[in-house]
Amino acid sequence: MIEVNPTIKDMRDLLCTAIEGGISYWCNDECENVDIKRSEGWGGADFEKWWYVKLSLDTACMSEDDTLKHFEVTPEIMLEKFDAWMDYCKETMKWRWDQWVDALTEDDLGGSCDAEDADCFVQYCLFGEVVFG
């Protein structure tokens, strides 16, 4: 495995990409109590202070008996789960692992990962696997 050090900013970028472009096909009316928290600096003149701090939701998508379960993710949780995500990709989606390694090697994780990449990573952080593709 390559030695990488993703940053909290990388995780903020990926969460933003997922929320604004990747998760709407599954994080929709079937989810309840969807809460997307933003940073204190959101909307101010300094764009560097605009980020999402948490996504939380209740859904029955991971339940066999349609019981709602609560899930949440923050950039900090994403950073903690990053190495496990990379291992998961290497085992289940080698092509995605290669893509993320290239992005990390170029030190451009946020810029190289698209909405689908970010969506899959957020799913992994929420559910422990990619559920929706």
Token pair for residue 89? 């990709």
Residue 1 resides in a domain: no
* pLDDT score recorded for residue 38: 65
Question: Which pLDDT tens digits describe the chain residue by residue (133 residues)?
Answer: 556 678 888 888 888 888 888 777 777 766 767 766 666 655 556 556 556 677 777 887 777 777 888 888 888 998 999 999 989 989 998 888 888 777 777 766 666 677 888 888 888 998 898 888 7
Residue 62 contacts residue 124 (beta carbons within 8 Å): no
Total number of domains constituting the chain: 1
* pLDDT score recorded for residue 125: 92
Residue 70 resides in a domain: yes
pTM over 0.85: no
- The range of the structural domain enclosing residue 51 comes to 8-126
* pLDDT score recorded for residue 52: 67
Residue 2 resides in a domain: no
Instruction: Compute the half-sphere exposure of residue 49: CA atoms within 13 Å on the CB side of its CA.
Output: 7
C-alpha distance from residue 11 to each of 28, 56, 67, 78 (Å) = 22, 16, 30, 6
